[in-house]
Amino acid sequence: MSDRKTQILNELHRIDGATPGQQTAIAKHRSMAENPFRFLRGAAQLFYADLANGVLELPGGLTEAVPLTTVMGDCHISNFGFMTEEGSHGDDVIFAPNDYDDACIGHAAWDLLRYCSSLFLASDFVAGVNQGRYPSPGDDWPKTDAASPDDARNAAGDFIRAYVKQLHRLQADPEQRQTALTTFKKGHVLAKPLAKARRRAAGGRDFNRKSALAKAVQWTEQGLRFADRPDRFERLDKKTADALVHDYRPYVDDHIIDLVERLGAGTGSLNMQRYYLLVGPANLVGEADLPLCHLVEVKQQRAAAPLHHFPGLSPINRLSPAHLTTVCQRRMQRRADLILDHAYRNDADWLLRSRHHARVGMDPEMIALGHKPGIRMRDYAKACGKALALAHARGDRRSTRFERAMSDALAREARTLISASEAYAERVDQDTRLLNEIMADRSNRSRGQSR
């Protein structure tokens, strides 16, 4: 077996506790093998191994001369989207980073490089589905014009320029850290998703049908309960349910009306155990009271992806995984979720956070398919650049040292960073092929041994 195959195996097993291709393999590995974009999403730990080992090189000017800040850790195009600020308690719908599971104190350039790589892989994915190289994620795939590699390259440049422009604004007026992206003009790639999110927010016309809360629950003879969806929710035995209610009631602001285990959620964290709590008043009357309720996720948390290979960057990173996520998410958001906390239970670290009523995410086909896909991708990348600059800058609200140093460094190294991201996208494509070879070989051996 090649050294690269061995490294892929080791990194996946270290994080997931399962070996691709064997009978113990998990759905996450099968998903990653379908296309390179999904491989990138599921292998953040390999990205940081490659940075640490020199397989992937960042220009020194982007790390040595720039202060550390709070970073997403798993930055890519599908980890941005619309949400109701302050979780399910707020009314403002904003566009911002929406995944902090791998957040830590680190180099901002990590997020930039990973995001740009995802642009190239998104372009490859939509073109690959159109061409039959990759399976379609659904029967309703819109087989229209797909963004090209040149479109992805231009979008990466626009992403960096928008990021730098926002840093310059923050240098001139640090109070802009308290702004967020809340409006997009008609015709912008994000205009329709924004309208959809607003309709799903509390008070919106689709709240009672399309909000994350409404789609998860149903009215029964016992009152409001989680819907009967065996593919998504699993009921708990009474002893386990009672113990969870006892342990997590102090963290929430109302009664725990119902709870279930959530199945099959996430990509990089697909194999991590999680529960959903339905929280609200005990004496609900009917549908009119639905806005008084909300969902809280209790998710088992593991160490942020960068920390195994970069353990000594900051003492803050020594916090327990869920505590670190809580600290970083609170710093990076303008107004953090009102329920955002951490707990230690059954020898595991658990993150508690609100599920946003109006959360609307962005898949590659929403960004890189359609009329003038290059423009759609570039407009999306600009919005992400602005949102990420705001999140990074909030890591230090005392000064503009980060903004000055990072904008200066990118003025010199932007082209090198984009070239490195394109080369890494090609590496991920090769790694996906290797993962398929690994899974096929080990599956064949497992079948041979079982005869």
pLDDT in tens, 289-316: 999 999 999 999 999 999 999 999 999 9
**Distance from C-alpha of 52 to C-alpha of 48, rounded to nearest angstrom:** 6
More confident residue, 30 or 403: 403
Q: Are residues 187 and 56 in the same domain?
A: yes
Output the pTM of the full model.
0.94
Q: Are residues 388 and 408 in the same domain?
A: yes
Q: Are residues 114 and 133 in the same domain?
A: yes
pLDDT at 25: 57
Q: Are residues 235 and 151 in the same domain?
A: no
Q: Are residues 232 and 180 in the same domain?
A: no
Give, in order, the Cα–Cα distances in Å from 269 to each of 182, 264, 386, 414: 29, 9, 26, 31
Q: Are residues 237 and 123 in the same domain?
A: no
Q: What percent of the chain has pLDDT over 90?
A: 81
Q: Are residues 156 and 243 in the same domain?
A: no
**pLDDT confidence tier of residue 47, bands split at 50, 70 and 90:** very high
Range of the domain at 376: 3-192+360-450
Q: Are residues 419 and 320 in the same domain?
A: no
Q: Are residues 107 and 8 in the same domain?
A: yes
282 pLDDT above the threshold of 80: yes
Taking the alpha carbons at both ends of the chain, their separation in whole angstroms is 24
101 pLDDT above the threshold of 90: yes
**Distance from C-alpha of 279 to C-alpha of 256, rounded to nearest angstrom:** 5
Number of folded domains that form the chain: 2
Mean of all residue pLDDT scores within the chain: 93
**Distance from C-alpha of 79 to C-alpha of 69, rounded to nearest angstrom:** 18
Last residue of a domain, one of 355, 378, 395: 355
Nearest to 295 by CA among 349, 234, 337: 337
Q: What is the pLDDT of residues 206-227, one digit of tens each?
A: 999 999 999 999 999 889 999 9
**pLDDT confidence tier of residue 18, bands split at 50, 70 and 90:** confident
Q: What is the pLDDT of residues 254-274, one digit of tens each?
A: 999 999 999 976 554 456 799
Last residue of a domain, one of 321, 355, 389: 355
Q: Are residues 214 and 267 in the same domain?
A: yes
